[in-house]
Amino acid sequence: MARKGVVMKVKSFLFASIWLAVFFMYSCSTTIPYNIKPINLESSKQATQTKFPYHATFVVVDKTLDYTKYDYDIISVNVKYILPTRFMVLQGVKYYLSPYFKKSDYERNSLELYGKNHIIVEILPNSLYVKENLGFSKKSLDIEVGINSRIYDDNYIVSKPYSVSLKGTYEVTGVFSSFGKDADYSKAAAMSIEKDLEQLGQQIAYILNNQNEIISNVNAAIEKEPLDLENYIILANVSLKNGNYKDAIAASKMIIKLAPNNIIGYDLQARSYYKNAQLSLAKKIFAAAIAQNVQDAKRYYITFLVEAKDYDTAKMIIKQSQIPLNPKVITETLFGVNEYQSAVNILKEALEKQQYNGIGIAFSDVLSNSGYPIIESVNPLSSAVGLVYKDDEVVEINNQSTKNIEIEKVAELVKKEPNALNDIVIKRKNSSDLIKLSIKTQKLYTLDSFSTYAWLAFGNYFLNNKKDFYEYADLSYKLYPNGNISTIAKALVLIDSGSYDKAVDLLDNVDFLAEANILKAVSYAHKKDYNKALSMYKLAQQNYGSVLFDKFKPMFFESVSFFVTENLSTASQLKNQGAYNKALEYYQAVLDIVDDQKKSQIYSNVASIIAANPSVVELNENSKKSFIYAQMYYQENKLDKAIAQLNSVIEKNPFNPNLHHDIALLYAQTQDYKKATEHMNVYLTLLPNANDAQAVKDEMIKWEFKLKGE
Amino acid sequence: MRRVFELFVLFVFLNIPIFAYAGAWEQAQELCRQSGGNCNYNIPTPTPSIDRNYSNQPQPSAPKTYTKPRSPSLSPSESMTIGIFGSLLSGLFSGLMNPPDTPNDDYLQAQKQKEYEEQQKLLMQKKQQALKTWHAIKDQPQSETQTAQQNQNPSLGFKTLGSSLVPFKWQNKINPKELDSSITLAQNQSQFDLNHEVQNFFGNRLNDLAQEGGKDFLEKYHKSNILLAETLKERKKIKGLGKFVGDNVYENTIGIASIIVDYKTDGVAKALQSVADFSILKIGIPQANFTLEAGRVYSRSVFNLLDKTLTKISNAVGMDFDFQEFINNNFNAYQKGVYEWLVKE
């Protein structure tokens, strides 16, 4: 009994002791936060070679990282390092990644023009590691920032995400040296980002240059993870870009299988059909998605229709569905159906949402060494222009000190009422003098409204409201001269006022856009440099252009009208002289730069030449070869390539009626009845007494019927 | 006093593993870093946020074994500390706290492990099914395209080109549905069938030509087909635009007749070219049940036969013959195109 009692006592004693020890240990454990302050990075000393002649948008995700260094002594004092990454990573991106591209920005603007090769790079800082090495004669601080990154085109992801580890070591040598000041941690963090961020640029370059490798990697990944949607999305998207529509269609079908309620699969499949010259099928895919109530189906369909330039259908669905849409989609649609006034009204509404009351000063995310906010930029449309400058320190706002203030709270010190005067005290860089200023609060628009201004300028240009056109274009360019669309708007003003050389110089900055190329062609034509004008116009046609490109076409036709008249007159004379081949050369030189009515006249004139001497439209050796390739592609079921090949033959031999006949049938097979009808009309104009004229006409009635049915 | 001493001893004793663990933790971290791994245990790698405008959320890969969910309120190091304590003292705790009939955690753990394994099994099945579906989709023909073609007016055929060109009849595309089976068929049936097709295709005439010697052959056919051939020659003169040349012109007999006319009027060299014209033209005309792949093999056979035939004919009439030179000098764009196509592919 006694023995049992002793055992019980020992058990109770042990139990109490253990809990006491555990409690004691954990009650003594404490974690101290340590904020690493972001600092300015040094710009890259080595010039990075621009590798891509187009636009990139870098989206740096705002993320605060932390790392806790645990202390396992009895009385543990843990340190939690905290690093807000965006400021330094964004600077690093500007210095080390942006130079890879002709143009770059750091926020996607919904009304901006980006061109067909635009990419978006998403950068997500995701881990932090800090280590202090306390040696006898050498002390160092290691900081590692982990970054995850993804690349998208304007629609979907184009590669698997990849990670980069940015490592930096800040060292102090000497027996009596010491570190541990705030600046040391900031320097180590800055060094890590400066040192290794260029790796990311090399990765991006590699991915963009090795699309086939991406395809094979993704195919391998699918075999391992066949349920991972992202693999199929990449496969469909990259195959679509590379013109491999069979794989693109297969992958998009699989996406629909795995996620039948996700619009992405339908969208990719429809785009694949469209690129394979099967617009009608693409529409059917969207119709199926809408019928199945797939979320966002109508929104994606409207966006698709705008890209396919079927503005009438897009407008009809916009009206029917009344769903919220990207303002660019609505604007392009309204421009497409020539409803400029409606577009201007919508754009003005959008502009109102970008309005705010303020003094137009933006501050850097970090305070100066003396603890004051630093001016990062001044709104070019504000009255602060000329009074304050970048890098000025703001010491006081309305008699309140700004020392060590949180940046978010600076704006709260500014009076909000319009026309109220604000007393601002500033200190210039490298000067200790204080300058007192009085800046008025005014109605301003955010920096990203430059694109809204530009569209307003274009709307007013087409409405022939010259004053508003000039004003909006000017505001757009002043607000953001680096914008693509603001540059186009400004160039249009220069062309309109006859400054063609200046317009060309300006447009060189955005020569990856079809809109820029056609305006350059207009400028060259006005300068009577028709060769350059024609080659620039051809280049413009190769790039995908927005609705603006189509709307600029009449301007181009007008600018070359003198050249066209001269050529047509010469062609007519040559024809009358019986110099048919020469006459055709003159007709051909202007065929692509006249409007539809003139084009039809040219075909009629050529028809009489063909009737007189059919051999003038025979193909040369190279064209024959291209034609054979078209046949081969057709046999291989590659309709898009067959059409492209045949189009290349037509480009060189625009007056051979049979080529138009054949391509019309190809278009009809892809259910693109609009193009089929266009080409068949050319065939009938060139060969009005064709043996199969009646059969062709009958067939065209069917196409017309199908077109209406759509 | 004795109790206080006991408590002290016990306290020191209990802390030994903690000190030891703290050293192990640092060592483990160092080892991990040296190996280049992610050693930042307190910050798990987050699932990257995907902008829904750009992409869809990927499915994270499943862990290989079931792991018990961690308490969110504790850091990994805290969890580890408690874990070590727990394992050291679990026997003691269970002896002190648990009545003998209380079931321990093992049963629940086993249940969860079983559930996890079932889930993994299900996932594997789903993966296998998905992979099967994917392969089926990849191999599937584009049926919609086929439908589109079938809708075309059959009375409206593709045109041909200029008279000096070889007229080409646009053919219906190969039905991809038949592609796989036909390729296999073509491969399995071996070269014999293909050669047989080639022989049929030429109606054995080229073979005869080769065997009999070109001159005799041409003379023979000249006699029997001269009228037809001359008619053809006249028709060719008045053609103008090649599209008016009917497709039937290139029936075998007329084709051969054309060769004969050329032989009679322009000599052997021209006749050889006509043979080439005629032979290569026929490549473009589809053979029943021929797939694209089989067609290529077939076309190559035609070229090979052509090479041999032309060489034999040339030798028979006392000429040296170089096929490549012949191609360079005599093939028109169409012929070169077909030839290059085959070589290229």
DSSP A143-203: EEEEEEEEEE-SSSB-S--EEEEEEEEEEEESTT-----HHHHHHHHHHHHHHHTHHHHHH
Mutation for testing the A interface, residue in B92, B98, B241 having most A CBs under 10 Å: B241
Nearest CA in chain A to B39: A129
Any B CB within 8 A of A555 CB: no
Q: Measured between CB atoms, which of A127, A617, A632 is closest to B43?
A: A127
CA–CA distance, A11 with A24 (Å, rounded to integer): 20
Distance in angstroms between the alpha carbons of the first and the last residue of chain B:
97
**To the nearest whole angstrom, how far is the Cα of A326 from the nearest Cα of chain B?**
12
* The pLDDT of residue B58 is above 60: no
In A409-565, at which residue ranges do the beta strands (DSSP E only) sit? 421-427, 434-440, 442-445
Return the residue in A18, A671, A689 with the most chain B beta carbons within 10 A, the one to mutate for interface testing: A18
A18 contacts on B by Cβ (under 8 Å): 14, 89, 92
**A605 HSE (CA, 13 A, CB side):** 25
According to the model, what pLDDT value does residue A155 have?
Answer: 84
Residue B15 pLDDT level (bands cut at 50, 70, 90): low
Chain B CB contacts of A280 under 8 Å are 148
Is the predicted pLDDT of residue B247 greater than 80, yes or no?
A: no
* CA pair distance A396, B135, nearest whole angstrom: 69
Residue A71 carries which side chain, given as an amino acid letter?
Answer: D
Give the mean model confidence (pLDDT) for residues A302-312.
Answer: 93
- Would you state the pLDDT for residue B78? 43
- Taking residues A481-498, report their average pLDDT: 96
What's the rounded Cα separation, in Å, for the pair A136 and A307? 66
Local confidence band at A655 (pLDDT 50, 70, 90 cut-offs): very high
Task: Judge whether A172 and A140 are in contact, CB under 8 Å.
Answer: yes
Contact A230 B56 (CB under 8 A): yes
When the pLDDT of each residue in chain A is averaged and rounded to a whole number, the result is 87
Distance, in Å, from the CA atom of A143 to the CA atom of A36, rounded to the nearest integer, reads 11
Chain B, 178 to 237: residues with Cβ < 8 Å from chain A are none
In the numeric block, which tokens belong to residue A512?
């990856």
In this predicted model, what pLDDT tens digit does every residue of A494-508 receive, in sequence order? 999 999 999 999 999
What count of other Cβ atoms lies within 10 Å of the Cβ of residue A63?
A: 19
- A412 interfacial to chain B (CB closer than 8 Å): no
Residue in B with minimal Cα distance to A701: B153
Q: Is B176 on the interface with A (CB under 8 A)?
A: yes
Encoded tokens for A593:
């730069």
Nearest to A624 among B22, B123, B334 (CB): B334
Does residue A61 sit at the B interface (CB-CB below 8 Å)? yes
| pTM for this model (two decimals) | 0.67
Q: Pairing mode, if any, of strands A77-84 and A30-35?
A: parallel
Question: How many contacts, defined by CB atoms under 8 Å, are there between A and B?
Answer: 235
CA angle B338, B344, B345 (to 5 degrees): 90
pLDDT tens digits, residue range A161-219?
A: 888 888 888 887 766 666 667 788 888 888 888 878 888 888 888 888 888 888 999 99
Q: How far is A541 from chain B (nearest CA, A)?
A: 27
CB < 8 Å to B146, chain A: none
Question: Which of A658, A699, A702, A704 to mutate to probe the B interface, most B CBs <10 Å?
Answer: A658
- Residue A684: pLDDT above 50? yes
Does A72 reach chain B within 8 Å, measured CB to CB? yes
Chain B stretch 102-161, residues whose beta carbon is closer than 8 A to a beta carbon of chain A: 123, 126-128, 130-131, 133-134, 137-138, 140, 142, 144-145, 148-149, 152-153, 155-156, 158-161
Distance from CA of B54 to the nearest CA of A (A): 5
**A669:B337 CB<8 A:** no
Interface contact flag, A61 B341, Cβ < 8 Å = no
* Residue position matching structure tokens 């972001």: A38
Interface of A with B in 274-333 (CB under 8 A): 278, 280-281, 284
Q: Which of chain A's residues have a Cβ under 8 Å away from the Cβ of B246?
A: none
| Across A269-273, A524-528, B108-112, least confident range | B108-112
- B-chain residues within 8 Å CB-CB of A122? 48, 51, 54
| Interatomic CA distance for residues B19 and A514, integer angstroms | 69
Contacts of B15 in chain A (CB under 8 A): 21, 74
Q: What gap in Å lies between CA A663 and CA A645, rounded to an integer?
A: 10
Interchain CB contact of B238 with A (< 8 Å):
no
For residue B35, what pLDDT band results from cuts at 50, 70 and 90? very low
Share of chain A above pLDDT 90, in %: 46
> For the residues A261-280, what does the mean pLDDT come to?
89
- Of A191-200, A245-254, A497-506, B30-39, the range with the lowest mean pLDDT is B30-39
The answer, for B63 touching chain A at a CB cutoff of 8 Å, is no
- Give the pLDDT band (50/70/90) at residue A416: confident
